[in-house]
Amino acid sequence: MGLFEKFTFVISWLPILEKEIKNLKDPNKNFRLFLTSEPHAKFSTILLQTCTKITYEAPPGIKKNMERIYQIWSNSLFKEINTNESELVLQTLFAMALIHAILQERRTYIPQGWSKFYEFSYSDLKVSAETIVEYLKQYDSQKVWKNIQGLVINSFFGGRIDNDFDFKVMMTYIIKILNRNILTNSNQKILNKFPVLMSKNLKSYIDLISSIPDVDEPGIFGLPQNVDRSVQRYTSAQVILKLNNIYSISSDSFKFDKTLVGEKLLPIFNMWKSIYTQDIVDSISRTAIKIINTEDPLKIFIKSEASHIYELILAVEKTFNEISQSLFSNGLITSNILKNCNSLLQNQIPDAWIKLWEGPELPLNYIKSLSKKITGVISYVNYAINDNLLENPLNLADFIHPDAFISALRQNSARRNKIPIDQLELACDFSNTRKDPNIIVAKISGLFLQGSDLEGGQLIDSSGDKSEIIALPSMNLYWVEKKSMIFSEKEMVIFILINYFYNFRRYPSMKISLENGLFVS
């Protein structure tokens, strides 16, 4: 019998193993080879097909997670340390187990809990716990705790995270939980939920873990009660994506069969034909030229957006035209045409489009979103020509570069008020009137609120039966001098989903104060 563990770390060696297994001559009938591995996209499918597969999925929930940790520690870590020497050691180990459990269980709520699946493993916790125990045996000061937090954040757990927003979430948990001021105060509660035990008795901590509910409330992760709706939507989108991939033609089996390719690409061809006309292209190019000679930053931005969308339309039309010529006429089939066909057949966006705009991941959604932007830019160009751009509601989803619009609004505000641009603060409100005529205001529509509800101008918690996302009224967006920004203690901040397109957290979220202002995080 043989046992090979953790094949995730030696994926490149698997072909050698396959050959060795294939070359076995007359193996003993009792011979068995056991392989263990976490899921991996590049794990050999041939090797999987030759194996009898057993999948183990740990029971979900913080309680079960911490019970498993303490069961492992009972046979290892707790035998190596004298738990009767220090309350702080047991308190810290409980905090580390809780951190590890929360980081793992937040993966249930992708993309709200994390933007992607992170492989937080027991080895991360093991190294963290052992290092902390050694630190606490020798030192116990606030400075040492800063070092401990830094190691856990940057070395043990943070190394697995590649998203800035996710890193901030992880760092916040570690600072809030792995905190000496909290762990040494029996009047405190970790995350306002878990009591701090001033005890050297290991059983007390095991009993505390047993008292944790079997089913996690989303609130324990700082998520709204209706977050399950978001998870269901995300899961559905992933299922649809997988079904589309099954329907698509793989690159390995791709052959330029005109009949097959034409059949597969017909839906996206028809959609583009319903959108693209030469009149639309001419309209954008002709009207945009009329506002070329201007020093107004907002008009320059609109012209730039129109030009960018004009280039994108031509790029998309060129792709479809070349493919159409190859499919239905006697056009040459070049390597570039084959590459574009292959991308579309695999439900991927051609590189030429991505260079101009990194939109939705699926071609049909990309074309739909581009259609909305075309309609929007035609309207905004006409508004700019008639000098009434800011008199009409603007939807940031209509722009390819919404951040550039906010910068242009900033430049206009600085010029009008003769204020240095770095002395301006981005602000907002939901009122229907503006008192100061010197403030340049853009009325923003198409904003959505997620994770809370808005009632009577006040933020309230979302209940489980409420919609995941609610539409907000039009918002006044403007820049004001920093010293004029006054914030009350009751200021409430909410997160806004700006529907640029379907990619979650691709752009920074915006924080909006219901009373005073908006800030880009």
Euclidean distance between the first and final Cα of the chain, in Å?
56
The answer to whether the beta carbons of residues 409 and 478 sit under 8 Å apart is yes
Closest of 477, 469, 485 to residue 445, by C-alpha = 477
121, 185: one domain: yes
Query: What local confidence, expressed as pLDDT, does residue 403 receive?
Result: 86
Query: What local confidence, expressed as pLDDT, does residue 374 receive?
Result: 92
Render 250-309 in DSSP notation, one character per residue: PSSS----HHHHHHHHHHHHHHHHHH--HHHHHHHHHHHHTTSS---HHHHHHHHHHHHH
Closest of 347, 359, 346 to residue 315, by C-alpha = 359
- Distance (Å) of CA 66 to CA 87, 102, 207: 19, 10, 11
373, 499: one domain: no
Cα separation, 128 vs 135, whole angstroms: 11
Cα separation, 27 vs 20, whole angstroms: 12
Cα separation, 269 vs 446, whole angstroms: 29
Cα separation, 183 vs 81, whole angstroms: 19
Q: Is 374 helix (H, G, I), strand (E, B) or coil?
A: helix
Q: Which residues pair with 194 in a beta bridge?
A: 190
Q: Is 368 inside a domain boundary? A: yes
386, 412: one domain: no
Q: Is 389 helix (H, G, I), strand (E, B) or coil?
A: helix
DSSP character at residue 411: H
Q: How many CB atoms lie within 10 A of CB 80?
A: 9
66, 205: one domain: yes
- 47-52: list long-range contacts, CB under 8 Å, 24+ apart: 47/14, 47/17, 47/18, 47/21, 50/21
Q: Is 240 inside a domain boundary? A: no
Cα torsion 74, 77, 83, 87: sign: negative
Q: Is 237 inside a domain boundary? A: no
The answer to whether the beta carbons of residues 291 and 302 sit under 8 Å apart is yes
93, 33: one domain: no
Render 326-364 in DSSP notation, one character per residue: HHHSS----HHHHHHHHHHHTT---HHHHHH----SSHH
173, 315: one domain: no
pLDDT tens digits, the chain, 521 residues: what are they?
666 666 667 778 888 888 888 888 888 888 888 888 777 777 777 778 888 888 877 788 899 999 999 998 988 788 777 666 678 888 999 999 999 999 999 998 888 888 888 988 888 898 888 888 888 877 766 677 888 888 899 888 888 898 888 898 899 999 999 988 888 888 888 888 888 888 888 889 999 999 999 988 888 888 888 787 777 877 887 787 777 666 655 544 456 667 777 788 888 888 999 888 888 888 888 777 676 667 889 999 999 999 999 999 999 999 999 888 887 777 677 888 888 888 888 888 999 999 999 888 889 999 999 999 999 999 999 899 888 999 999 998 899 998 899 999 999 999 998 999 888 888 877 777 666 788 899 999 988 877 777 776 566 777 767 777 788 888 888 888 876 654 443 333 443 433 333 333 333 344 443 333 333 33
| Helix or strand run (H / E) with residue 93 | helix 87-105
The answer to whether the beta carbons of residues 468 and 452 sit under 8 Å apart is no
Q: Is 249 inside a domain boundary? A: no
The answer to whether the beta carbons of residues 99 and 91 sit under 8 Å apart is no
Q: Pick from 392, 420, 439: which residue ends a domain?
A: 392
Structural domain including 339 reads: 254-392
Query: What local confidence, expressed as pLDDT, does residue 506 receive?
Result: 39
Cα torsion 186, 190, 195, 199: sign: negative
Q: Pick from 173, 203, 223: which residue ends a domain?
A: 223
Residue position matching structure tokens 């057949």: 345
206, 71: one domain: yes
Q: Is 230 inside a domain boundary? A: no
Query: What local confidence, expressed as pLDDT, does residue 227 receive?
Result: 82
CATH classification at residue 166: 1.10.8.720
Give me Rg for the CA atoms of the chain. 29
148, 274: one domain: no
Q: Which residues pair with 519 in a beta bridge?
A: 511
311 contacts: CB under 8 Å, gap ≥ 6: 356
Cα separation, 427 vs 434, whole angstroms: 13
73, 171: one domain: yes
φ and ψ at residue 464, rounded to 5 degrees: -65, -25
Query: What local confidence, expressed as pLDDT, does residue 500 receive?
Result: 32
- Distance (Å) of CA 249 to CA 227, 265, 341, 347: 35, 11, 10, 9
Please give the structure tokens belonging to residue 495: 């997160």
Q: Which residues pair with 443 in a beta bridge?
A: 476
Please give the structure tokens belonging to residue 468: 């995941």
Residue position matching structure tokens 């907000």: 472
Q: Pick from 392, 407, 430: which residue ends a domain?
A: 392
Residue position matching structure tokens 């709200």: 112
Cα separation, 431 vs 360, whole angstroms: 33
Q: Is 200 inside a domain boundary? A: yes
The answer to whether the beta carbons of residues 225 and 461 sit under 8 Å apart is yes
Query: What local confidence, expressed as pLDDT, does residue 245 receive?
Result: 66
Q: How many domains does the chain have?
A: 4
397, 473: one domain: yes
Cα separation, 143 vs 239, whole angstroms: 49
Q: How many CB atoms lie within 10 A of CB 261?
A: 21
Q: Which residues pair with 424 in a beta bridge?
A: 481
CATH classification at residue 411: 3.10.490
377, 424: one domain: no
Q: Is 231 inside a domain boundary? A: no
68, 211: one domain: yes
Residue position matching structure tokens 């505390």: 208
Q: How far is CA 271 from the centre of its chain?
A: 29
Q: Is 55 inside a domain boundary? A: no
